[in-house]
């Protein structure tokens, strides 16, 4: 029997058009989110969100939208009080988007289950608290700041421009590999290593699959060959670190993170972590503990070198605490360098290292935030970059002003600073990050200063906010070789 194709296609097309029309009408006229301001297309599709995430502009794009006015089932918020509720109140769970960090099982960072998170946090607390970091201070110093100061001394003699961002990334990876993997990579001494592109490509591979979940069920060959091998390379590094640490004899024990995690137990149950959990936590430390810290220190150098008055005051404070340039900074010295702390805090405010993407899900019953009712299941994308740069909440919001952290009200302002998140899921590695940044910046600026070669870089957001292509070129000078600092002008960060 002959079938008239047109008699089949016409009704099918009518059904498709009708469905699209009904869905558009629902989202524009009936959705509880219809009153939330934003781009027209964002009310119809989340494709634009995936596009800006993959192209490295997510947080900056959201900041511009907040200046002007999320997707059909997500909204972005910058109001500090509302964000505090989202981060702190029970019920707001992390989105399943965090499964990109499950490797192979959920970690303390990626788990969406509050009970699992509490158990992991109890178990891991002694491994990353301030006392533990102090016990590891010598290890951190030797593999990180000390090696970097030696490298900068060599580069200062050569006189050629260097990529500051790459140097800091090498240093932070060296610290993480020594602390969590018991491996002395000494990347700071090498021009290149496959670990850099392996980590980046493996990360992009995971982001791509989260943005396009169909690839969890069916993965094309080109995606496997491009990213799967790199992801497995990183997985194998983490697995081997756990296996090697398990084999240590009592004489081989050291004050490092992986050893502490292996012996950690839940104080409520006396149960430790299995190998899969340990691999997942090691992976989280590698990804979250290197790029965030290196990006932070890169922006400190960029901002200090772009603001001569800030630089002058910072160098004077460091010199006063360490008259002898060979003196090694100590974590205990932090309280003696309040302006250095203010510089770091202001860097975190104006260059939010994690600008957005820490998704939370509205709990059952829905919630009202910023005057809008959000139904259960709505995804909230906290725009930290926009909140930190909003003139509603910060005077001189677009300017780099470290002095704001030394004025009355500074402690209250710290409650609006979300570089480590807020509430019970505050970043678990904050003590390590703060200590590493303090030791490094104090040691580097006691001995060196820089001149930026290519002007101010464009900020780029993949997972973290860093200079585009991870490049900040500068010439390095030993301070006694570069004369005095010109404090006649002050450039404003815009």
Q: How far apart are CA 459 and CA 461, in angstroms?
A: 7
Beta strands 379-382; 465-467: pairing state: unpaired
**What is the per-residue burial (b if ≥16 Cβ within 10 Å, else e) of 284-310?**
bbbbbbbbbbbbbbbbbbbbbbbbbbb
Closest to 328 (Cα-Cα) out of 144, 468, 62: 144
Which two structure tokens, joined as six digits, stand for 274?
């299995």
490 is in an annotated binding site: no
Residue 372 CB burial class (10 angstroms; 0-12, 13-18, ≥19):
middle
The tokens of 388 are what?
């930190």
DSSP 264: -
**CA–CA separation, 264 and 49 (whole Å):** 39
- CA atoms of 444 and 441, how far apart (whole Å): 5
152 Cβ neighbours under 8 A, 6+ residues apart: 167, 444, 447, 448, 476
Is 346 in contact with 404 (CB distance < 8 Å)?
Answer: yes
Token pair for residue 352?
């939010």
* Start-end of H helices in 89-113: none
Query: Which segments are annotated as binding site?
Result: 427
Query: Which segments are annotated as binding site for heme?
Result: 427
């Amino acid at each position: 029997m002959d079938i008239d194709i047109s008699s089949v296609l016409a009704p099918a097309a009518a059904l498709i058009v009708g469905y699209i029309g009904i869905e558009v009408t629902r989202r524009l006229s009936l959705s509880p989110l219809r009153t939330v301001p934003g781009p027209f297309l964002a009310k119809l599709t989340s494709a634009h969100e995936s596009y800006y995430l993959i192209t490295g502009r997510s947080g900056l794009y959201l900041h511009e939208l907040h200046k002007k006015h999320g997707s059909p089932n997500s909204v972005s918020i910058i109001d500090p009080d509302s964000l505090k509720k989202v981060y702190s109140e029970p019920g707001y769970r992390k989105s399943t988007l965090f499964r990109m960090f499950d490797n192979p099982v959920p970690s303390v960072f990626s788990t969406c289950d509050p009970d699992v998170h509490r158990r992991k946090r109890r178990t891991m607390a002694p491994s990353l608290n301030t006392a533990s970091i102090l016990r590891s201070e010598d290890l951190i110093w030797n593999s990180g700041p000390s090696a970097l100061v030696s490298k900068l001394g060599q580069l200062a003699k050569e006189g050629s421009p260097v990529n500051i961002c790459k140097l800091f990334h090498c240093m932070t990876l060296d610290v993480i590999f020594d602390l969590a993997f018991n491996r002395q990579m000494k990347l700071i001494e090498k021009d290149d290593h496959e670990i850099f592109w392996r980590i980046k490509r493996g990360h992009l591979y995971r982001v791509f699959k989260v943005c396009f979940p169909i690839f969890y069920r069916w993965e094309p060959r080109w995606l496997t060959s491009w990213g799967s091998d790199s992801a497995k390379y990183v997985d194998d590094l983490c697995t081997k670190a756990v296996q090697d640490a398990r084999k240590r004899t009592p004489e081989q024990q050291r004050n490092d993170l992986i050893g502490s995690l292996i012996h950690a137990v839940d104080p409520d149950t006396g149960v430790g972590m299995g190998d899969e959990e340990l691999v997942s936590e090691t992976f989280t430390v590698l990804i979250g503990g290197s790029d965030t810290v290196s990006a932070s220190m890169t922006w400190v150098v960029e901002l200090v070198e772009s603001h001569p008055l800030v630089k002058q005051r910072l160098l004077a404070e460091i010199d006063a605490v360490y008259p002898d340039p060979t003196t090694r900074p100590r974590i205990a010295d932090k309280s003696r360098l309040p302006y250095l702390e203010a510089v770091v805090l202001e860097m975190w405010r104006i260059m939010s290292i994690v600008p957005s993407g820490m998704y939370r899900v509205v709990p059952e019953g829905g919630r009202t935030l910023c005057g809008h009712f959000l139904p259960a299941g709505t995804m909230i994308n906290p725009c930290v970059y926009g909140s930190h740069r909003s003139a509603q909440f910060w005077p001189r919001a677009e300017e780099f002003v470290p002095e704001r952290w030394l004025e009355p009200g500074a402690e209250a302002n710290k409650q609006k600073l979300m570089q480590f998140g807020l509430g019970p899921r505050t970043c678990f590695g904050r003590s390590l990050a703060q200590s590493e940044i303090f030791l490094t910046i104090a040691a580097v600026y006691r001995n060196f200063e820089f001149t930026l070669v290519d002007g101010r870089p464009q900020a780029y957001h993949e997972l973290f906010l860093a200079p585009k292509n991870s490049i900040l070129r500068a010439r390095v000078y030993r301070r006694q070789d570069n004369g005095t600092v010109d404090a006649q002008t002050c450039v404003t960060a815009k």
